[in-house]
Amino acid sequence: MENKINVLLVGYGKMGQIIHENAHAVNAEIVSIIDPFLPKYNIAFDAIDFSNIDVAIEFTHPESCLDNFKKLLNKNIPVVTGTTGWFEKIDVLSKIINPEIHTLIYGANYSIGMNLFYEIVNNAAGLINQTGLYDFYGLESHHRQEADSPSGTAKVLSDILLDNSKNKDKVIYDMNNKQLEKNEFTFSAIRAGHIVGYHEIGFDSDFDEIKLIHNAKNRKGFALGALFAAKYALNIKGILNFKDIFRDVIKNIIL
């Protein structure tokens, strides 16, 4: 059996709690939790015994995550972050990360299924767009408390579609009463109720329609992906996007 890994959770919202519940599945143990919004876990970083921490999993807010990264990396703790909304500041990390010493894994979506979906969409879009017969679109739905719109996942899927298109170079997330130009496609968002995460990619012609759908039933797939990434982080250095290392991460999955 693999050695158990000790994990520090930074952020104990919905994702942090699901990660805690499923840590045992990958032989991990949550040994410390920090969350300034919960009195029970409102603990200063300096109060943590980092000698007992192998890796940190961070799910917080874009306003606070960079400061969290700095504190953790200064302790040479590998970091897996699921916080989104900060990726445009990723160049800032080059000033605080030594790629030979530090590890930071980030991603718009840690769901095992969604990362498989990325590859499926990439392969399908490349094949379908070769015909020149199909227009395409995207649709994403999340619960009404979702902070990002469009979601980070929608942005990744949009990039995949654009990379595989010869005649479109722009995604429109909000039409604002405008007509769609030939070089544009739409990726719409719905926010309602308790939807965990629904993503649909459609290819439409004048004679048929092809749909690819990923529908998250719950957050367990996200939690397992983050935990697998945490184990992978122990043996790699640098700033890494989860979708780019996904195949390596899942090679040795054992549940």
Homologous superfamily assigned to 112-215: Dihydrodipicolinate Reductase; domain 2 (3.30.360.10)
92 pLDDT tier (thresholds 50, 70, 90): confident
Mean pLDDT of 72-81: 95
Q: What is the dihedral of CA 28, 32, 35, 41, to 10 degrees?
A: 130
Instruction: Indicate if the pLDDT at residue 91 is higher than 90.
Output: no
- Supply 187's token pair: 């990726």
CB contact set of 250 (below 8 Å; sequence gap of 6+): 112, 228
- Answer yes or no: are the C-beta atoms of 161 and 197 closer than 8 Å: no
The C-alpha atoms of residue 32 and residue 42 are separated, in whole angstroms, by 11
101-151 tens-digit pLDDT: 999 999 989 999 999 999 999 999 999 999 999 999 999 999 998 877 898
Mean pLDDT of 79-87: 92
Residue 7 DSSP SS3: strand
Q: Which residue has the higher pLDDT, 95 or 125?
A: 125
Look-up of token digits 């969290």 = 68
DSSP class of 157: H
194-215 tens-digit pLDDT: 999 999 999 999 999 999 999 9
16-65 tens-digit pLDDT: 999 999 999 999 999 999 999 999 999 999 999 999 999 999 999 999 99
Query: Which pLDDT score is estimated for 254?
Result: 55
- Answer yes or no: are the C-beta atoms of 162 and 201 closer than 8 Å: no
253 pLDDT tier (thresholds 50, 70, 90): low
Which of 152, 139, 245 lies closest to 199 in space, CA to CA? 139
Alpha helices in the chain (DSSP H): 14-22, 65-73, 112-129, 152-163, 220-233, 242-250
Determine how many CB atoms are found less than 10 A away from the CB of residue 182: 8
| Strands of 98-208, DSSP E | 103-106, 135-142, 170-172, 184-191, 198-204
HSE-CB for 214 with a 13 A CA cutoff: 25
Q: Does domain 5-110+219-250 have CATH number 3.30.470.30?
A: no
Query: Which pLDDT score is estimated for 255?
Result: 53
Mean pLDDT of all residues belonging to the chain: 93
Percentage, residues of the chain above pLDDT 70: 98
Would you list the domain boundaries of the chain? 5-110+219-250, 112-215
